[in-house]
Amino acid sequence: MWEMDAARLIRTARRRAGLSLRELARRAHTSHSTLAAYEQAHKTPNVDTLDRILTACGFRVDVTLERRPADVAIDPVARGRELVEVLQLAEMFPARHSPTLTAPKFGAVA
């Protein structure tokens, strides 16, 4: 996932800055072929390199690190059981609505 995000960040920053690959390479002190590899997600820059490239485009990197709640952790077996339970619950509902109301009117007293 990081490769795709870094590629998109570099490509977007370069385009917004109106720079060619060669001009950005000159400003970021790297080669245009390396930048092309980053933009196409063939290579992944480290954080310092990404910062240098985005700075050369006139942007800054601002990273926020947040802890994932433990209950959000991906457990494929648990997610599979949850899916089965949801599908079983869905089977309990009627497939089609009845054209007539079979419940008492709201507020009606017996």
Q: What are the residue ranges of helices labelled H in the chain?
A: 2-17, 21-28, 32-39, 47-56, 76-91
Q: What is the pLDDT of residues 53-108, one digit of tens each?
A: 999 999 998 878 877 666 656 778 888 888 899 888 888 877 777 677 666 677 76
Please report whether residue 108 resides in a domain: no
Please report whether residue 83 resides in a domain: no
Please report whether residue 33 resides in a domain: yes
Please report whether residue 36 resides in a domain: yes
Please report whether residue 28 resides in a domain: yes
Please report whether residue 91 resides in a domain: no
Q: How far is 14 from 10, CA to CA, in rounded Å?
A: 6
Please report whether residue 30 resides in a domain: yes
Geometric angle at alpha carbon 10, from 6 and 16, rounded to 5°: 145
CATH of the domain at 52: 1.10.260.40
Cβ pair 11, 2 in contact under 8 A: no
Please report whether residue 44 resides in a domain: yes
Q: What is the pLDDT of residues 32-63, one digit of tens each?
A: 999 999 999 999 999 999 999 999 999 998 87
Mean pLDDT of the chain: 85
Q: How far is 33 from 30, CA to CA, in rounded Å?
A: 9
Q: How far is 94 from 45, CA to CA, in rounded Å?
A: 54
Range of the domain at 8: 2-56
Q: Please tell me the pTM assigned to this model.
A: 0.58
Residues near 68 by Cβ (< 8 Å), separated by ≥ 6?
none
User: What domain count does the chain have?
Assistant: 1
